[in-house]
A and B are shown apart, each in its own frame.
Chain A
Amino acid sequence: MEIYGEYQSIDSDQSLEQLNLSFNPSSIPLKQRWRNNGLSADFLGDYVKTFFPKDESDPTTEYKQAEIKSNVSYIANELLENSMKYSSLNSHAMISIAVYLMPEQIIIQGINEGSEQQWSNLLKIINELQENDPADLFVQRMEQDALGETSSGLGLITMINDYDADLSWKVNTMHSGDKLITTQVKISI
């Protein structure tokens, strides 16, 4: 098992609330499945929103609720899109996405199986994220992209840059040689 970043293992009694959704990535083609990413992400966002009720006497609570829903939804959608795009094609393993409400933060966590090559591509991005300022990395990525070079990792960069998220990874090598990759995203409440 390898850990990158400040990965936090979550005991079920630590989280105040949690919701976990799992999918079988190979049952239908990606194109047909794509719309489900948004539906699932919005569902997770809506679910968490419930625990931040609006207070009629405090108008900021209404924005806070919308913001929490939007943050969870954006991050969960990006994690799901990545999982769907970068999973082993022959994998029968499930993809999962979960949200945990902790006392001072929200954890959004995605799990998928990737090939050794897919993991090594992700590891390259992780190293770049750890070594560079995310705002500079954003500009650099977009300028590379404009020159026709393929860029990836933008979803992860925006989570750090725009949402002040803390990202970490746990990776296990399976018997097949494929990697079981857990991506954990923490945002403060």
Chain B
Amino acid sequence: MKKIEDENYCVTLDEDSAKVIMDGVLRLSGAAEFTPIVGFLNDLLALEEKDIEIDLSKLEFMNSSGIAVLSKLMISARQRKSGKITIRGSLSIPWQTKSLKNLQRLLPALELIIE
């Protein structure tokens, strides 16, 4: 397991279970600051033929730079030949119900579970 964290957030890459978990509040100041997290997401995407999951169910806030990171990942994922992609969210976190549906517009095969 690999981790990137600061006082506000924690992002974990678990390659064995093919998961990235994002917790806390992610409001970094733009693409450059998101680079290490993008690295985790690209490593996840590179697990060819596996079903992969991004778990946001404890991610209380994300700014539009973070939404851009997830959106670009959906576009990269179009090239993937096999393996399902799931994003898991929480109904009790209002931004997720509002914004995560847009990811499906970018990648219709995305499985979005908000519960």
Contacts and interface: CB of A to CB of B under 8 A. Distances in A.
Among B27, B93, B105, the most chain A Cβ lie within 10 Å of the Cβ of B27
Contact of A146 (B25, B76, B98): B76
Nearest to B71: A142
Nearest to B75: A146
A155 B30 CA distance: 12
Given A135-B105, A142-B68, A142-B75, A77 B27 contact: yes
Contact-residue size bin, chain A (C-beta under 8 Å from the other chain): 20 to 34
Contacts of B98: 162-163
Given A74-B61, A78-B64, A154-B64, A142 B95 contact: no
A74 B25 CA distance: 11
Interface string B33-65: 000000000000000000000000000010111
Contact of A37 (B27, B64, B72, B74): B27
Given A74-B95, A142-B75, 4 more contacts: A38-B61, A70-B61, A73-B61, A142-B71
